[in-house]
Structure 1
Amino acid sequence: MEQNQFDAIVIGSGPGGAAAAALLQHRGVNTLLVEKNNFLGGKMVSIERDGYAYDLFPHGQVPMRAPAFKDVYDEIGIGDRWEAALECEDDRNVITLAYRRHDWKDYNVVSQPQAMADPRPFFKLWKLDDPADQMKAMQFMTEMLSTPEDQMDELDAISMHDYMQRFDVPYEVYSYMAFHANASIAEPIDKVAASEQIRIMRHMMVHGGGGQYRGGFAKLARDMVARFEELGGTLIKNCKVDHIIVEDGRAVGIQTRHGEFRAPVVISSAGIQPTALKLVEPGVLPEDYVDYVKKLEPGWGFTSIRYFLDRPVMDVAMYVVYSDDSWWNQERHDAVRAGHKPDEVILFMVNHTFYDENAAPPGKQVLVSGTICSSDPEDQEIEHLWSVMDKQMVELFPEIWDACERREYAGPKEISTLTRD
């Protein structure tokens, strides 16, 4: 292309990069957005194929009510394109949960509407009938909701496990929080920052959780990038960044196979480690900062199975499966990496046809199921996890399994191919 000078350059078209580029262009900043793939969305990629529309991995937005993306849509002038597929005021049963306590033989399975701040559906799930235990659980939830924001930063360096040791809570509450750390953040309860998990729980209790969009999460990126181009922004797909150009200690552009592009501002949405360790050439960033980035421990991966059903048998939006034995803390994760083969896994599953009647051909449905795994694309545990996921589907939801006409599998290798250089 002829133009190679811009006011700003954004690397990556995931939701963060797409939002940044659209907001900059809307505010009069001449912006270039580069994406290494031929599609938009980054890790939030959605698939449209054979009459189906679904995400590659299960997602549920928190908060459901008034998310930040709605503010972006409104500011850049596309509020009329906002298509949230579920509202937290919806009184239908939207989630089916299956939980097994360590000393139970079978899972307890219940379906419910959005629980929000009402703990009673969880008391039913956990069979937590003792009023004293219920009171302890509510006191813990109240503390999470009422901690002043100016005190939350103090919890950045405290794990959720250590935070919960301050409270006398039933083990069922701890087990749920351990599951939640895995399913929502892909981290262990003894590593995740208490501040991060508490903020997510607050959003869920006050504004709902499990939000989705007609067409999947990649619709967000597509809408924002479409508006970005309408406003005069420049998008280049299939444009892999070789390196960020740094002169006199400042980022001034990017070098790509399409040539060199310059701007006084460069925003990378490629991730902190790929940016600092690959896109910025050695010797540019301070050595102590590079060492800090190298030591950052990445979150775990998520592996998924997509079930394509030949008839409608699912009547809720989400399915959750966990037991006291299936979530991973760091010790359990390390045991799996060392060769232990778990008999159970957690499951978070999204029924796209609940959110969008056009997500599957008439009379059919699609379910995207996922569980935690190592982030290593070459890890050998993935196929075993898939077999356990299928086994639990047979045992807990035989009607879904019986209606399944085909399955697709994906894991960290696919994500790495899509989003990493």
Structure 2
Amino acid sequence: MVDNFGSDKKSYARENLVKIPVGQVEIGMFVGELDRPWLGTPFLLQGFEVRSKSQIRSLAEYCQHVYVLKDGVPLKGPEVPVSRTMPPPPKKNVGTLLPMQRSRPGRAPQVIKPLVRARPAYEVLEPVRYEHAGARNVLDAGRVNVKGLLKSAQMGQMLDTEAAESVVDSCVGSILRNPEALLWMTKIKDMNEYTAEHCLNVCVLAIAFGRHLRMSEEELRLLGLCGLLHDVGKMRIPSEILDKPGRLTQEEFAIMKQHTVVGYELLQEQSTSLNTAALDVALNHHERPDRGGYPRGLGERELTEFSRIIAVVDAYDAITSNRCYAPALPSAEAQKIIFENRGTQFDEAIALQFIQAIGPYPPGTLVELRNGMAGIVLAGKVRFRHLPTVLLLRDANKQPMEERTVELDLTDTGTLSKEFLVKRTLPDGSFGISLRECRVQHEPVFL
């Protein structure tokens, strides 16, 4: 089976489609949209006519409902291949004018670059298993340093920007060797340390996403620094609002929204060596292309690329984390929310590329297979995004077993039973499986 993934550009207006359960799909119907991004499915075409029962069975495996073309609506032409190689073109961006921005002599005007850079893709330099121990050390040290940075911000002290840059450098190094290991570590969550973990996770996810976009190492370091410092203003928000377990009142939300301006002003007070991109992102990461964001209601053409990237990454990590007012959602649900809000809350091209980069089952995702066995996703596949490499840690009866590795893409060739396909994702701690306690063996033992 050919396996191509990529663009999720809409082909039909929603009023020309009707939502039906997968069980009602019949041969001859034209499926225009799914209830999830096309990327997380094995379908070659974005929009296709159902021509066999096997296609209906495949739809049932991945979707609960679909959107089919209404009777009498003509087809627009050939079905659209879902291609990895040609992302949707980014819309023109003229940059953001920051209030009270300090003069930086000799700084060149912003150059508009294509979203996916015209340079070779990064190669994996280290097997994911060998990178795991180092990635764990990087994240543990990073958490200590980030807590110190946020404490300084809370106390009104100068930030140790060199320490921040050191954290970013370590993250960039690990991600350039192999991004899968550090992405696994971002799945280890502690609700009591949410703000510090969130800042570090956004840093890691942004760098990994930048690697997917083929950004230069210099760009990766700057993007990572922007992610690390984006929420620093929250340290000046009263804790009774920041940590409130229920819904904020209108007055409380107005105070919470001030963290963007406060963060900008706080970073503005720092050493002149701090790149203005970090100030821009702190101020604008809650702005939206449709002008519905804050603090200034800017539009798409007024937002820099980095602020639009961090907006997506920030939302993804927040949605997949346990917060004082909302439980964590699975990665696929977070991606679905981002997908559904592309073009309004999130930059469309960036949202689609991010979904492509993360995949439906990112490293560190706990999964249960159809056969009842359970384990943790070790790494994704470039072509078969929905068929990752899984470390099996529980047998079909949910009893502990010796670690075994299974390559789910073998189900596509018939080498492996389809009973090894993912049935569902699980929260950390399910069946006694702990991401924090798991230590990956250097040498795989295959099932």
Give the TM-score band, short-chain normalised.
Answer: under 0.3
Greater fraction of residues in strand: 1
Which is bigger in relative contact order (C-alpha 8 A, separation at least 6)?
A: 1
TM-score (norm 2): 0.25
Indicate the structure with greater helix content.
2
